[in-house]
Amino acid sequence: GAVVSQHPSWVICKSGTSVKIECRSLDFQATTMFWYRQFPKQSLMLMATSNEGSKATYEQGVEKDKFLINHASLTLSTLTVTSAHPEDSSFYICSAMGLAGDEQFFGPGTRLTVL
C-alpha cells in the first residue's frame, strides 16, 4: 500500500524559532499533498493544499506567511512554521493524493510543542 512518512515525528522548540516538517510519499508520486492541524481531542482542520511546482492554496484563516509550504518534487512537501509561538503547538498531519486522485494517504503526524 501507499506509504507517507513525516519527519520529525515530534519536535520541541523555543518560542520565536522556525520549525520545518517534511512529508514524503515513499512509494508513489503525489501531485497534491494536504496539510492538516489537529488540536487535542479535536478533529483535523485543513490548513492548505500543496501542489507540486506551484504555490500552495491556504484555507481561510491560515496565515500563509507563518506557515510556509514548499512542494518541490512529486514526493516531498515541507511545512515551515515560522516564528513559532505556544499557540502553534499542535499535531500536524500531511496527506498525499496519488496520481489517480481518488484517495489520500495520511502520514503519521508530527507533534509540535512550542515552549
Nearer to other proteins, 75 or 95 (CB): 95
Torsion sign (Cα): 64, 114, 36, 98:
positive
Which stretch, 12-20, 41-49, 62-70, 74-82, contacts other proteins (CB under 8 A)?
Answer: 41-49
The nearest distance, CB 45 to other proteins, in angstroms, is 7
Range 74-103, binding other proteins (CB under 8 A): 91, 93, 95, 97, 101-103
- Contact between 69 and other proteins by CB under 8 A: the answer reads no
| Most distant CA atoms of the chain, gap in Å | 41
The single residue among 45, 68, 74, 76 that binds other proteins, judged by CB under 8 A, is 45
Residues 6+ apart with CB under 8 A from 102: none
Q: How many residues does the chain have?
A: 115
Q: What are phi and psi of 88, to 5 degrees?
A: -85, -10
